[in-house]
Structure 1
Amino acid sequence: MADNSKEEFLNLIKRVGAFLTVKISNLLRDLDSRSIGAIAGLALAVFFTWRLLTLPSGTQRRQHKSSAGATSSGSSTCTTADVTCSKVSTSSEYSGSQNAVKELFQPVKPTLGKIVRKRLNRGRKVTCQLLGVILEESSPEELQKQATVRPSVLEVLLEITKCCDLYLMERVLDDESEKKVLVALEDAGVFTSGGLVKDKVLFCGTENGRTSFVRQLEPDWHIDTNPEIVTQLARFIKYQLHISAIKPEGSASNIFTTTSLENFFGLV
């Protein structure tokens, strides 16, 4: 009686599988946006149907072989260990199929490049201050001693150079500071990606000089730590990213505030 019930169940599963196959064929012939969700659900049902059709039959074949071996040796007794082993094997395979389905329908994590393009709203030109954003140093006086590229910002910086025309700029006190900055950027590999060249690293002697650079270049985005410069440029630049620990009150709607460049792109 148990064998007949199993056969009837398998026949029912086969009929359901055939029905689902016909449904999928009909949907594929008349595909529209509303059919996509139905196809995904049917595909999942077909997958489970296939597992139900294959797993029991495989288990039955192993049981038949075990019974045949026992009969040929003159023994007709099925031990508890054999039954337990069969159940564990079936459970393991079923668990594996569940994990495969979960992985199949798991959302794909976007790459950093896609995140950068989305956050910049597909802007094509970006200007960015060096001190406090790209460099560890925060004043021109510190640049007279050394220039250090922040390791955490490097990955984002390279992605920006791939999709945008990037210009870096800073106020310096002497020519030696310029050399230190260029050497630090070169050692960090900023110029090897092909998106940024030394000619696009600009230096000036005053904060107003940086403002003038930005207005002449007319970027889609400007990134700066100076709240006065950000405020002055709000009327002329489409978007600005203000790097600051505190968001100023009354900021324009086109000014975004974040603690670091990498934080803006979700790396922190």
Structure 2
Amino acid sequence: MVARGIKHFFLFAKAVFGALISLTGLFPTAFADGVVADPHRFDHAIAAFEAADKASMPEPGKVLFLGSSSIRRWDTARAFPEIDSINRGFGGSQTSDCIYFFDRIVLPYKPTVIVLYEGDNDIGAGKSTEQVVKDFQTFAKQVRVKLPGTKIVYIPIKPSIKRASLWNKMENVNQEVQTMAAIRKGLYYADIATPMLATGSPPDESLFAKDGLHLSDKGNALWASVINPVVKEALGE
């Protein structure tokens, strides 16, 4: 009886392991570095975007602000009044989520420029520098293949008080993407990190909300001052 129970346990464990392996094939970046990031945790948020589009579909050719809570919490229409834009930020997201939902939250808008902020939560969740860079490259390839001619403005991972211990890894990601932007047509690097560190590391707490992670109005104003001219350059203005 005991032997049969042990056998059933191992068969069950084998089945579970096989299912996990199968899932990693479906979501190759979701299980990278041992980090589970199931994109379906955002099904409700993505459905809300689609419902809004059904009620009033944005005209194609706008600037798309895409990314995690630093985008979601930001009134980008107010921050960039001269830029015709859409905000599709969803808090807690990682680069792999933008990849997974690309056909639903990027492709329908046919944006002229995508302003992307991701990587912060990726590193916060334990993903390696290499994986975050690889995921960005995958996202950029999706843009090249499905939206040829669309530009990407990359907002580097911000230094913050809450995640100060992770800054070295974040900075490595930023440097990799900055190097890509120097040689790759259609990719722009909006360096918000350097001015945020003007007073040293970690950055000035006045740039942040009370949680030490999300930006204050002052922090958002700093970002806008850097990003605005880069977006206009990408638009050819």
With the shorter chain as reference, the TM-score category is under 0.3
TM-score, with length taken from structure 2: 0.26
